[in-house]
Amino acid sequence: MIKKILFFVLVLLLIGSCNFKTETKKEVPIVYVSDLDQLRARGKIVAVTDFNSTNYFIYRGTPMGFHYELLKSFSDYTGINIEVITSSDINKSIEWLNSGYADIIAIDLSMNAERNEQVSFSLPLNRAGQVLVQRKPNRWTSIKSEELDKYLIRDIVSLAGKMIYVQAGSNSALLMHRLNKSLGNRFTVIEVPFEAEKIISLVATRKIDYAVCDENLARVNARYYPVLDVSTVLGEPESLAWGVRKAGSEKLIAALNEWIGVIKSNGLLVILKAKYYNNDNLTRIFKSDYYTLNTGKISPWDLQIKKLSETINWDWRLLASLIYQESRFRSDAVSWAGAHGLMQVMPETGQRFGVDVTLSPENNLKGGVLFLQHIRKYFEDKIPDEGERIKFILASYNAGIGNVLDAMRLAEKYGRNPQLWDDNVAYFLLKKSEPEYYNDPVVKYGYCRGSEPVNFVAEILARYSEYRNFIP
């Protein structure tokens, strides 16, 4: 037992040196809200998921993943925004759900009796068994495939005396504890508090010898690590679903099930499974410098963005989200109107600040940040709350300061708060596309297609939230 404890401590130390993420820490607790009508009134559904190369990740600045895309689809179906938060601890996710901190657990939850006591399940979205993750023998490429079985564990009895690592609270943990008990505790099950993909990588890199995880994730990772064998099935396929709170979620679960029926009939579910479970391109993504889970990088311009963000006292991830919105990090982008480069700056705007924004990506970034600095100074006294001020700055970057000032004057005239964005100034910026409002005497800059800056702000801030999920 002492040896086992020492070995476990050693493994934790090894794990501590790896680049894994813990659960998201939110600054402001979410007020408990139940069921769909109240969620709609609040304006968002909070979904907790985990991050790995199938469920949720960022590649070249773009959030992706099987469960992430399903959440986007459900958001479109209900018309309610979804805020994604992350946790690699399934027990913590269930705790967040039942405390009202989250509204949906959007991961592959096994629809078994243990889970059924904790959550209400949607209709199944997936199906998978549990497999043993182990390394092939040394010089395995020179061994005939039919002879590999001699070197590998192929049944549960052969696990006697072994240490098996599983994600804490996972379907794999539940299964392995059950199997071990049925065999009279012949092997050791060690639960670790991070995502299964990290445990798989520890097997591949010889930090540990055995792990158990969902077959879908194991087979994807076996593409990345050819040394791994994931052919030993330990648990038969089970139906996997999302979870909601057992009390007060009747309308939410009904909406989820209606939507699941739609995506099964229109083929979206099959398409996403093919995209994330049977796609050889995922190997290229996984090995890219811009697979953020592995590298912490968003773009080739991260260093410059970090340096320039300090000059305006912004989180660099926010500035990166703005740049993605403008150009998808393409330094050669040119708009129909003549805006150039990473930050889509008009040449005459750059000239105002003494910068030729067409000369180089570095100049373009500098010109764009100088323009942001100019806008920021303009609103510094007008919008005292920094979080609100960022929304006004972003909208002005897109639509011009004049149009935002018009919307502020309209908000004040019609009894709304000109210092708040959502449902106040944003509402009247949208109204500036209607003659009644753009012809109002307080409006100085006329017509504005307000949906563009309003969506611009919302999408940048949503992506910024995604970036914070992955990058400290």
C-alpha to C-alpha distance for 265 and 190, rounded to whole angstroms: 41
Same domain, 352 and 209: no
pTM of this prediction? 0.86
Same domain, 70 and 93: yes
Which candidate in 83, 215, 326, 466 is catalytic?
326
Same domain, 356 and 457: yes
**Do 394 and 457 meet the contact criterion of CB atoms below 8 Å apart?**
yes
C-alpha to C-alpha distance for 235 and 196, rounded to whole angstroms: 16
**Do 337 and 359 meet the contact criterion of CB atoms below 8 Å apart?**
no
pLDDT, one tens digit per residue, over 156-187 is 999 999 999 999 999 999 999 999 999 999 99
Same domain, 133 and 243: yes
Listed in sequence order, the residues at least 6 apart from 315 whose beta carbon sits closer than 8 Å to its beta carbon are: 309, 464
Assign 260 to helix, strand or coil: helix
What's the confidence (pLDDT) of residue 25?
A: 46
Long-range contacts of 6-9 (CB under 8 A, 24+ apart): 7/163, 8/190
**Do 173 and 166 meet the contact criterion of CB atoms below 8 Å apart?**
yes
Environment class of 209 (CB within 10 Å of its CB; exposed 0-12, middle 13-18, buried 19+): middle
What's the confidence (pLDDT) of residue 4?
A: 46
CA distances from 393 to 115, 357, 364, 376 (A): 46, 20, 18, 6
What's the confidence (pLDDT) of residue 34?
A: 75
Domain that holds residue 376: 302-470
**DSSP bridge partners of 82:** 45
pLDDT, one tens digit per residue, over 315-373 is 999 999 999 999 999 999 999 999 999 999 999 999 999 999 999 999 999 999 999 99
CATH code assigned at 96: 3.40.190.10
The distance between the two most distant Cα atoms of the chain, rounded to a whole number of Å, is: 85
* Segments in the chain below pLDDT 70: 1-32
What's the confidence (pLDDT) of residue 71?
A: 98
326 is catalytic: yes
Same domain, 283 and 322: no
Same domain, 234 and 314: no
- Of 279, 297, 315, the residue at which a domain comes to its end is 297
- Of 297, 329, 349, the residue at which a domain comes to its end is 297
Same domain, 269 and 336: no
Same domain, 220 and 325: no
C-alpha to C-alpha distance for 391 and 370, rounded to whole angstroms: 17
**Do 259 and 77 meet the contact criterion of CB atoms below 8 Å apart?**
yes
What's the confidence (pLDDT) of residue 32?
A: 66
Per the structure, how many domains does the chain have? 2
**Do 397 and 375 meet the contact criterion of CB atoms below 8 Å apart?**
yes
Same domain, 66 and 163: yes
C-alpha to C-alpha distance for 48 and 4, rounded to whole angstroms: 33
C-alpha to C-alpha distance for 143 and 47, rounded to whole angstroms: 46
What's the confidence (pLDDT) of residue 15?
A: 41
- Backbone torsions φ then ψ of 185, nearest 5 degrees: 55, 60
- Of 244, 271, 297, the residue at which a domain comes to its end is 297
CATH code assigned at 452: 1.10.530.10
- Each residue of 332-367: b (16+ CB within 10 Å) or e? ebeeeeebbbbbbbbbebbeebebebeeebebbbbb
C-alpha to C-alpha distance for 363 and 333, rounded to whole angstroms: 14
* Dihedral angle of Cα 421, 427, 430, 436, to the nearest 10 degrees: -130
What's the confidence (pLDDT) of residue 189?
A: 97
**DSSP bridge partners of 128:** 238
The alpha helices in 205-360, defined as continuous H runs, are: 215-224, 250-265, 268-277, 281-287, 292-295, 302-311, 316-327, 347-352
Same domain, 271 and 306: no
Same domain, 288 and 321: no
Same domain, 65 and 157: yes
How many residues are listed for the chain in this entry?
Answer: 472
